[in-house]
Structure 1
Amino acid sequence: MSSFEYPAYSVLALIAAVLVVVPLPWHLQAWNSGTCLFMFWTSIGCLNYAVNAIVWHADALDRAPVWCDISSRIIVAVGVAVPAASLCINRRLYKIASVTAVTMTRAEKHRAVLVDLAIGLGIPIAQLVAEFIVSGHRYDIYEQVGCYPFIYNTPLTFPLVSVWPIIIGLCSAVYCVLSLRAFAIRRAQFQQYLAASSSLTIGRYFRLMAIASVELLCTTPIAAYGLYVNATSPIFPWVSFADTHFGYSRVDKYPAVIWKSSSTAIISFEFSRWSVVFCAFVFFMFFGFADEARRNYNKVLAPVVALARRVVPAKRSHPVYKYVLRSH
């Protein structure tokens, strides 16, 4: 069964996976670990969904078991990793807005990066472990969507899996409000900090706050909807780990005509797939056209242009090129 979204979704997701990592070099230079984590996880999520949409655009055959094992776990990790990266961004912006010293020592920068890594990598890893506890079987395959994790809906699912994106989003919202409040109170000292910083400008600061806020407005409602769907679906009693994992190697396959008969399934899949692509494009809109982005584009394109200028005259002096000119 074909879909009008194919290959549109796959192409857009692949473009988004590339565009979102374009600003990576200067964010690495600026020690923006939270932003780098956001770019990394968003790009991985877009790439993963794009590959799935390409491979399974017309069927639901279990043709790549190892890939599906990896892909379904990536989906679980990205579900909390993107909000966790946004939390890192909002946390850093709050630290900057409430800064008490104009400069940061190298040790303080190292400590901030380690904390961001603990949040942006530690939470997704912990979510993978928690998800495995309530994973009913290996994975599912949906035509036009691809590999997808299966989570057994028990009371234990809610504290282990369902609520964490919402909790992370609420923490980000608190940091966002505190950042605005601190900025309003300590505006003069904040501007002194930015003047002393070679890696952060007022424009980049508010672009970071904007992208974190957009992510918050996207993922938190989607996570709340997922929680609502789970809460209103049949909830099975938790018996034991062995009971939940009975027949764990099973792989269920769903043609599009079956899963698309459920409006809840359509909304859930499309929200989860398109939200990552949307975040990637919004991030590129904020940072891909900034002054530092254009400068880096020029750095990348300058050698290419110089090489082209050297190659073209060389081709014009080639005997074949001269013969073509004489023949015309």
Structure 2
Amino acid sequence: MDAVDPTYPLYPIASTLASVMLLLVLLTSFVRQNWNLGVTFLCFWLFLLNLTNAVNAIIWSDNTDLKHFVYCDIVSHLQVAANAVIPMATLIITRRLYLIVSLRSVDLPNKASRRRNSIVEWTLGLFIPLLVAGPIYYVHQGNRFQVIGVFGCINEIQTSILELLTMESWTVIPPLVSIAFFYPKVVQTFRRQSRDIHSFINRNASVSRMNYLRILILASIDLLLTLPVNMINITLRIMSLRTGHTPLVFYPGWTVLHTDWAPVSIPYTQEQTFGTPYTARSFFLQWSNSLLAFVIFGLFGLTSEARASYLRIICAIGGWIGRSSASRAQQEQASLGEIEFGTRPQEMSLGDAETGPGSCHPVSVTPEPPAARQETEHLMGESGVGEKLESQPMLIEEVRRSLGDTGTGERRVSVGSETIDAAV
């Protein structure tokens, strides 16, 4: 079945690229240990939002089937949290810049003020969005989730006055606070006192005026995107109630919202019946997340520091792969070197002949060399063996005499080196 969106797969490709770019920005910040909490919150939640938008556009490109329930539960809550985080991140960024230009210092003056600032930023960037995506969203959740053609699974919120005050207000009030209290002074100070700003920012070696100028540009673009879009979104939702002849009540009631709570699917053709403004608003909300991700990468992902961080990451990955390959090669060589041989046969010796094969001390016989044998004979001659050789004639006479006494016959007897023929 063909995709419903005629531009498919343009949107999933753009969302995937946007998520990869945001991940690179987060990785380079981690490598350089250079964190701006507002920018980090914005990159992290936008990364998750673009990634899930790409997955949704691929899975439900040509259908509105109700499937992957657990995934849709997670994504629907994630969308609510991200829609609250993006305006909060803008407020965190502009407030931080306001403190810098007001105090003329990159760091806060004391430990108590730093702790108080951390509590404020973490509350705005994490705790309030989780509160909105958790219990507050459940109060206004008309269905478990809804699957819309082209866009996939999204959250399902019943519009009411209480919902506008407790949920949609978080998308409008933070940008209004930024514009009313922080943003004008930041822009005015950077424009009129750029030389002074440059001097006191450069006292800190870890930052530069260009970095804070990039953050200011990001806050400006985010304000231009989030505030008008969120205000138009609220207006279109109220207008859709009038188009459907549904009154805007304060709160429909817990029983009405949570009685038939099964997920619903809306084909793309049915969504088009809501009107062109509603369809255009849906597409713009989807594409604005990718557009903001491209802006962030253009400001923070193409700097010289970021490129150096990319090189370090690539070298680290290459070194890890090289070490793992070397360790595997060593293991293979070690396995090849472990060759077992059979039992060595026992040596036969003179000791074995006398004591049997169980002898553990073999005796070997080494032939005596000629020189040693001559020396031995010489020593034997000197020690008295020669005297025995001189007495051989006397011994021969005794043998002859004894043979002559015993009878006739002839016998050959060898004595020493002489042979005697005697009659027997």
Q: 1:196 to 1:269 in 2, by over 3 A?
A: same
Q: Is 1:288 aligned to 2:294, yes or no?
A: no
Give the Å deviation of 1:285: 0.8
Give the Å deviation of 1:287: 1.2
Q: 1:187 to 1:61 in 2, by over 3 A?
A: same
Q: Which amino acid aligns with 1:121?
A: L
- 2:63 matched to which residue of 1? 59
**What percent of counterpart residues are identical?**
26
Q: 1:52 to 1:103 in 2, by over 3 A?
A: closer
- 2:271 matched to which residue of 1? 259
Query: How large is the RMSD of aligned CA atoms in angstroms?
Result: 2.5
Contact 2:149–2:267 under 8 Å retained in 1: yes
Give the Å deviation of 1:223: 0.5
Contact 1:48–1:74 under 8 Å retained in 2: no
Give the Å deviation of 1:267: 1.5
Contact 2:105–2:201 under 8 Å retained in 1: no
Give the Å deviation of 1:221: 0.9
- 1:33 matched to which residue of 2? 37
**Residue 196 of structure 1: SS of its match in structure 2?**
coil
Contact 2:28–2:310 under 8 Å retained in 1: no
Q: Which amino acid aligns with 1:145?
A: F
TM-score (norm 1): 0.86
Between 65-74 and 180-189, report the one with greater CA deviation. 180-189
Give the Å deviation of 1:77: 1.1
Contact 1:60–1:254 under 8 Å retained in 2: yes
Deviations 1:118-159 (CA, angstroms, capped at 9, x unpaired): 111122122223222122111110111101111112222211
TM-score (norm 2): 0.67
Q: 1:64 to 1:25 in 2, by over 3 A?
A: closer
Match of 2:120 among 115, 119, 127: 115
> Aligned partners of 2:218, 2:309: CA distance in 1, in Å?
21
Contact 1:98–1:182 under 8 Å retained in 2: no
- 2:348 matched to which residue of 1? none
> Aligned partners of 1:117, 1:84: CA distance in 2, in Å?
10
Contact 2:76–2:155 under 8 Å retained in 1: yes
**Residue 53 of structure 1: SS of its match in structure 2?**
helix
Match of 2:79 among 75, 80, 96: 75
- 1:16 matched to which residue of 2? 18
Aligned ranges for residues 85-164 of structure 1 at < 5 Å?
Answer: 85-101=89-105, 103-104=107-108, 107=111, 108-128=113-133, 129-164=135-170
Give the Å deviation of 1:240: 2.3
Q: Which amino acid aligns with 2:73?
A: D
- 1:45 matched to which residue of 2? 49
Give the Å deviation of 1:55: 1.0
Match of 1:198 among 205, 226, 250: 205
Contact 1:27–1:35 under 8 Å retained in 2: no
> Aligned partners of 2:106, 2:66: CA distance in 1, in Å?
57
Contact 1:98–1:186 under 8 Å retained in 2: no
> Aligned partners of 2:216, 2:67: CA distance in 1, in Å?
42
Give the Å deviation of 1:14: 1.0
Q: Is 1:4 aligned to 2:17, yes or no?
A: no
> Aligned partners of 2:317, 2:107: CA distance in 1, in Å?
38
> Aligned partners of 2:40, 2:153: CA distance in 1, in Å?
26
Between 212-221 and 174-183, report the one with greater CA deviation. 174-183
Give the Å deviation of 1:298: 2.2
Q: Which amino acid aligns with 1:170?
A: L
> Aligned partners of 1:22, 1:80: CA distance in 2, in Å?
23
Q: 1:198 to 1:111 in 2, by over 3 A?
A: farther
The answer for unaligned runs of 5 or more in structure 2 is 242-246, 326-424
Give the Å deviation of 1:303: 5.0
- 2:383 matched to which residue of 1? none
> Aligned partners of 1:151, 1:309: CA distance in 2, in Å?
52
Give the Å deviation of 1:100: 4.4
Which has more radius of gyration? 2
The answer for unaligned runs of 5 or more in structure 1 is 312-328
- 2:227 matched to which residue of 1? 220
**Residue 146 of structure 2: SS of its match in structure 1?**
strand
> Aligned partners of 2:126, 2:277: CA distance in 1, in Å?
30
Q: Which amino acid aligns with 2:15?
A: A
Match of 1:271 among 284, 304, 308: 284
> Aligned partners of 1:43, 1:189: CA distance in 2, in Å?
36
Deviations 1:33-77 (CA, angstroms, capped at 9, x unpaired): 111111101101101111111111110111111111111111111
Q: Which amino acid aligns with 1:292?
A: E
Q: How many residues matched?
A: 310
Aligned ranges for residues 227-246 of structure 1 at < 5 Å?
Answer: 227-234=234-241, 235-237=247-249, 238-246=251-259
Q: 1:146 to 1:178 in 2, by over 3 A?
A: same
Give the Å deviation of 1:162: 2.2
> Aligned partners of 2:265, 2:320: CA distance in 1, in Å?
51
Give the Å deviation of 1:208: 0.5
> Aligned partners of 1:184, 1:127: CA distance in 2, in Å?
37
Between 67-76 and 255-264, report the one with greater CA deviation. 255-264
Contact 1:83–1:168 under 8 Å retained in 2: yes
